[in-house]
Structure 1
Amino acid sequence: MPAPVLAASPFGDEETKTTPPLLLDELSPYGAPQRAAPRPEPEAGDLEQRVASLRQLAGPYTGWCRGVYDRIKPKVQGAVTAGSDTYAYLKNPPKDFYARAGVIGFTGVLGVFLARRSRVKKLVYPVGLMTVSASLYYPERAAAVAKSTGDSVYDRAVQSYAALERMVNPPGEDGKVPDSDDKP
C-alpha cells in the first residue's frame, strides 16, 4: 500500500513532487541495507604469500594424516569402549570370578614352566592347560566352542584327506581315480 512521505527535501519543493510515493516495506527499519560500491581487494602481503605457499606444500601431507586418522579413529574408539566395558565388569564381577581367573592364570604359568626347551611346547602347553581349566569352570561355553570348532576341524580334516588322496592317486586318463584294490 503506497503512502506519501512528508519530509523536507534539501533540494526544494520540485524534488518532492517528482518522486513517486514509497511503499511501507521500503520504510521498514529492518530492510536490506543499501549496497555500497565494491572496493578493490588490497594486495596480499609478504606474510600472506608465505602462508599460502606453506598451505600448498602441506596439502598432501594433511590429506594423508586425515586418512590415517579416519582409519585409526574407529579402532581407538573400540579399544576405549572395550576398556570401559572391562572396567565396569571387573568393578562388579560375578561370584567367584577372581578365584576362577586365578586358577586359570596359574595353569597358564604352570604350562610355561613345563614347556622348557621347545618353542612349540611353549605355545601348546600354556594354552592347552588354560583351555582345560577354563572348560572345567565354564562347561556350557566350552561345549558351544567345541561344537563350532569341532565342526570346522572335521571339515578341514575331510578336505585334507581328499587332497592327500588326489596327490597319492592322481586321476587316470579317463578322469576316474583308480581304487587301491584295482591292480593293473
Structure 2
Amino acid sequence: MLKVTGTTMPGTFSLLPTTVSAAAGDGEKEADAPLNRDELSLYTAPQQKFRYVEPEAGRMEQSVATLRKLVEPYTGWCRGSYDKVKPKVQSVVQCGNDAYSYLKKPPKDFYPRAGIIGFTGILGLFLARGSKIKKLVYPAALMTVSASLYYPEQAAAIAKTTSDSVYDCTVQGYAAVENMLKTQSEGAKEEPGEH
C-alpha cells in the first residue's frame, strides 16, 4: 500500500514535491523512512544493457552472397559498358523524337521532295544491274545528288564534316602504314647482321 501525503488536488501531484510512504504487504509495520518518487519502480524503469547480436545467415542469404561475389566483376564491366552506350542511345532516341516531330508537321513541299529522292534511289537500283558494288554505289550516289539539290545548306554541312572525318582517317591510315613499313625495314636490316 502506498500513502501519498501533501497534496490537495490530484492534478498537482506531478508538479509538487510529495512524500510517499511504503507499507509492507505482509501486514508488517510501515517503514518510517520516506521514499523518493525516483526510488519507486513504478516511476523508473530498471536500466537494461542491450547488445545487438548479428543473426546467423541462412542458406538462402549465403547463396545470394556467393552469387554476388561471382557476378561482381561482370556487373562492373556491364556498368562501364552501359555508361559508354547510354549517351549514344539517348542521342538515337532524341533523333527519333526529332524526326517524328518533323514528320508530324513537315515543311511545305517536303513529301514531293522525299518522293523524288526515293525515286532516284530506285532509278539507281535499276541502272546498277549486274554488279553488287554498283547496287550499293549507284542508288546512294543518285539519292545524295538529288538530296543535295533540294537541301544545299545541309549538304554543305554534311560534306564538310564528312571530309574532315575522311581526312582524319586518311592521316591515321598513312601513319599506321608508315610505322608498319618502318618496322619491316628495320627487321630486314637486322637479320643479315645476326648470322
TM-score exceeds 0.5: yes
Could you tell me which residue of structure 1 aligns to residue 97 of structure 2? 84
- Could you tell me the TM-score, scaled by structure 1's length? 0.57
TM-score normalised by structure 2 residue count = 0.54
d(CA) in 2 for partners of 1:144, 1:41: 66
Aligned residue in 2 for 1:113: 126
- 2: CA distance between counterparts of 1:50 and 1:140? 62
Distance of 1:132 and 1:100 partners within structure 2 = 13
Within 5 A, what are the aligned runs for 1:52-131? 52-131=65-144
Distance 1:40 1:144, change over 3 A: closer
What is the aligned-residue RMSD (CA, Å)? 3.7
Q: 1:106–1:8: structure 2 CA closer, same or farther, 3 Å change rule? A: farther
The Cα shift of 1:142 comes to 4.2
Task: Flag structure 2 segments of 5+ consecutive residues without an equivalent.
Answer: 1-14, 23-32, 39-46, 172-195
Higher RCO, Cα 8 Å, sep 6+: 1
Distance in 1, Cα, partners of 2:111 & 2:48: 76
Contact 2:124 2:139 in 1 (8 A): yes
Separation in 2, partners of 1:8, 1:47: 60
Computing the radius of gyration over CA atoms, which structure comes out larger, 1 or 2?
2
Pairing partner for 1:40 from 43, 53, 56: 53
Shift of 1:63: 2.0
Cα deviation 1:90-111 (Å, max 9, x = unaligned) = 0000001010001011101110
Kindly state the Cα deviation for residue 36 of structure 1 after the two structures are TM-superposed.
Answer: 4.7
In structure 1, list runs of 5 or more residues that go unmatched.
Answer: 18-33, 160-184
Question: CA 1:45–1:5 in 2, change beyond 3 Å: closer, same or farther?
Answer: farther
| Whole-angstrom distance in 1 between the partners of 2:146 and 2:83 | 41
What displacement does 1:139 show? 3.6
Which whole-Å CA distance do the structure 2 matches of 1:126 and 1:101 have between them? 14
Q: Percent identity?
A: 59
Q: 1:116-150 deviations in whole A, cap 9, x for unaligned? A: 1223322332122112222332344445666x48x
How far residue 13 of structure 1 moved from its aligned partner, in angstroms, is 4.3
State the distance in 2 between where 1:10 and 1:40 align.
42
Q: How does 1:18-37 map to 2 (within 5 A)?
A: 36-37=49-50
Separation (CA, whole Å) in 1 of partners of 2:113 and 2:148: 11
Judge conservation of contact 2:148–2:155 (CA < 8 Å) in 1: yes
Listed as ranges, the matches of 1:137-152 within 5 Å are: 137-142=150-155, 148=160
Amino acid of the structure 1 residue aligned with 2:50: A
